[in-house]
């Protein structure tokens, strides 16, 4: 037993001696570096002074970092920044909670009551959440997902890969007359020849249209059956007509007068469609002696007309899109800004759907019509002719004329009896002769066709015209929109011509011409005036 104890004591002395030597021995820099690593795994092979046998996990990691790819480095960088942003958000949240969202905060005092009421009403929706979900955390997530989904649907809805058709250039094809101020005015004729025309019908085109529109899709055989000569013309700056330096509604009526005189038309019927009716109204006011009657289809009037009641204005404006309301507001206040809208739409050199190029809403009946390939082809050709000159000024002028203060009112066209004013001279005169009164206003018939589902020109607008012009004959069209009745409808065209002209009598024949008149010398003088 003593021998065993002495042996154990000897081993302890050796161990302490070895430990003392290790302490006395100074560590090298490689040993110090290795000691800083948590799990060094230091292995020494050979002499202490050599570093070739040093093997640590830290050194292995360093060698791996040297060969790390750029992708891994970017991931690490993004992860580090994400952690920084999260910590920053937590810090901002703590600052807001400690400084703003306190009971003494002014904002909290004002918002707490309404928010509590809204939260109480919306708390019913919490029943649809799982029991283990906190509504404060769940609803923001649900709302965010809903908004993202809605945004994706708005971007991709009705998306197709069909190429966008470009605007094509066409060779000039219009007839022209020279106006007294040196401008050229282009026009187009359909139907029977001038010497055989029983009636002359002059049509004004609407916005973003041209002389090619006329009565869309009307057949030549139908015009010949009624003996109608249909004339359409380009407004100044549209199609092939030269622009007017200072265009007004009165100048528009004068251009029409010069056109009728150049074509030797004694009297004619006016046809006004949509915004083109503005120029028809001006013709009824300034050149009534040349007009045998008026045909209006969904006629536009000034939406700012002071003669409208508050209810009539509200019924008109509530049917229009926000873009159209903004369009009219800019036309009255800042017309130059309209150039930006027109440059990005129909003057962009590309074709687009009618409800995109024009700020309008379409009724269901109109959507069906405007998707018809026949309508699309007709619409694109008409637009190409309308923007032929590439000048946006005429379009801005047309919009401004529509909403500016007109120099006349629609009510001024009402037929009224005007008698001389009574005065002192009247009392001396009434014994010798009867009092003479005259009729004022537009004395010829006015026919108006209005689709009751029209969202472009709401029926309230026609109701206003009927109120101020009680003599106007209104034809209400149930279940019809702005385009569905007039475009490419043979029965509708026949109904319109039959209403204003009666039955079809064909072109004027030799036997139907005016009788021959003899002068005092017995020479025949055939009359050159034909019925219109």
pLDDT tens digits for 519-529? Answer: 444 443 443 33
- Exposure string of 417-431, with b = 16+ CB inside 10 Å and e = fewer, is eeeeeeeeeeeeeee
pLDDT tens digits for 19-77? Answer: 555 545 555 555 655 555 545 454 544 444 444 444 444 444 444 445 567 778 888 88
* C-beta separation of 485 from 449 below 8 A: yes
Q: What angle do CA 356, 357, 359 make, to 5 degrees?
A: 70
- Bridge pairing between strands 268-273 and 228-233: unpaired
pLDDT tens digits for 339-392? Answer: 988 998 999 999 988 988 888 999 999 999 999 999 999 999 999 999 999 999
> What are the residue ranges of CATH 3.40.50.1820 in the chain?
175-417+437-501
Ranges in the chain, pLDDT < 70: 1-68, 100-101, 121-122, 124-129, 131-138, 152-164, 420-436, 510-532
Distance of CA 184 to the CA centre of its chain: 32
Sign of CA dihedral 116, 117, 122, 123: positive
pLDDT at 180: 95
pLDDT at 526: 40
The correct CATH number of 175-417+437-501 out of 3.30.70.60, 3.90.1310.10, 3.40.50.1820, 3.40.50.1100 is 3.40.50.1820
Strands (E), 138-183: 175-178
203 vs 276: CA distance, rounded Å: 9
* C-beta separation of 291 from 267 below 8 A: yes
pLDDT at 51: 44
* C-beta separation of 409 from 431 below 8 A: no
pTM of the full structure: 0.67
331 vs 322: CA distance, rounded Å: 14
31 vs 472: CA distance, rounded Å: 109
């Amino acid at each position: 037993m003593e021998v065993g104890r002495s042996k154990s004591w000897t081993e302890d002395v050796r161990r302490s001696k070895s430990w003392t030597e290790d302490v006395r021995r100074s560590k090298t820099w490689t040993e110090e570096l290795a000691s800083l690593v948590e799990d060094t795994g230091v292995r020494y092979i050979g002499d202490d002074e050599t570093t070739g046998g040093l093997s640590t996990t830290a050194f292995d990691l360093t060698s791996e970092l040297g060969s790390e790819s750029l992708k891994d480095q970017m991931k690490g960088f993004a992860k580090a920044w994400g952690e920084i942003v999260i910590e920053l958000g937590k810090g901002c949240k703590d600052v807001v909670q400690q400084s703003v969202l306190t009971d003494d905060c002014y904002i909290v005092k004002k918002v707490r009551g309404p928010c509590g009421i809204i939260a109480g009403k919306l708390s019913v929706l919490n029943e649809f959440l799982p029991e283990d979900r906190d509504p404060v955390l769940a609803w923001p997530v649900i709302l965010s997902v809903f908004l993202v989904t809605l945004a994706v649907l708005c971007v991709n809805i009705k998306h197709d890969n069909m190429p966008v058709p470009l605007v094509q250039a066409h060779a000039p094809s219009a007839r022209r007359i020279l106006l007294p101020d040196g401008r050229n005015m282009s026009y187009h004729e359909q139907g029977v020849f001038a010497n055989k025309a029983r009636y002359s019908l002059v049509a004004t085109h609407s916005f973003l249209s041209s002389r090619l529109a006329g009565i869309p899709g009307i057949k030549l055989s139908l015009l010949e059956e009624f003996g109608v000569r249909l004339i359409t013309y380009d407004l100044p700056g549209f199609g092939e007509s030269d622009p007017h330096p200072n265009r007004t509604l009165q100048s528009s009526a004068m251009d029409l007068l010069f056109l009728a005189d150049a074509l030797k038309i004694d009297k004619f019927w006016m046809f006004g469609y949509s915004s083109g009716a503005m120029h028809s109204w001006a013709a009824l006011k300034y050149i009534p002696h040349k007009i045998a009657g008026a045909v209006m289809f969904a006629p536009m009037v000034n939406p700012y007309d002071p003669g409208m009641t508050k209810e009539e204005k509200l019924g008109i404006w509530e049917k229009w899109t926000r873009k159209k309301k903004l369009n009219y507001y800019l036309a009255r206040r800042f017309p130059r800004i309209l150039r930006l809208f027109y440059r990005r739409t129909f003057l962009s050199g590309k074709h687009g759907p009618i409800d995109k190029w024009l700020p309008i809403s379409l009724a269901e009946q109109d959507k069906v019509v405007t998707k018809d390939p026949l309508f699309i082809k007709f619409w694109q050709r008409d637009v190409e002719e309308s923007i032929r000159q590439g000048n946006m000024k005429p379009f801005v002028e047309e919009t401004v004329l529509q909403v500016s203060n007109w120099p006349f009112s629609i009510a001024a066209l009402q037929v009224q009896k005007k008698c001389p004013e009574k005065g002192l001279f009247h009392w001396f005169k009434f014994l010798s002769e009867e009092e003479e009164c005259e009729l004022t206003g537009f004395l010829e018939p006015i026919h108006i066709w209005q689709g009751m589902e029209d969202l472009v020109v709401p029926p309230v607008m026609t109701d206003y015209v009927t109120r101020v012009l009680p003599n106007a004959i209104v034809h209400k069209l149930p279940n019809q929109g702005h385009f569905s009745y007039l475009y490419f409808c043979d029965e509708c065209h026949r109904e319109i011509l039959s209403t204003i002209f009666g039955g079809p009598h064909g072109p004027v024949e030799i036997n139907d011409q005016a009788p021959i008149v003899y002068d005092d010398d017995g020479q025949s003088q055939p009359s050159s005036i034909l019925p219109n």
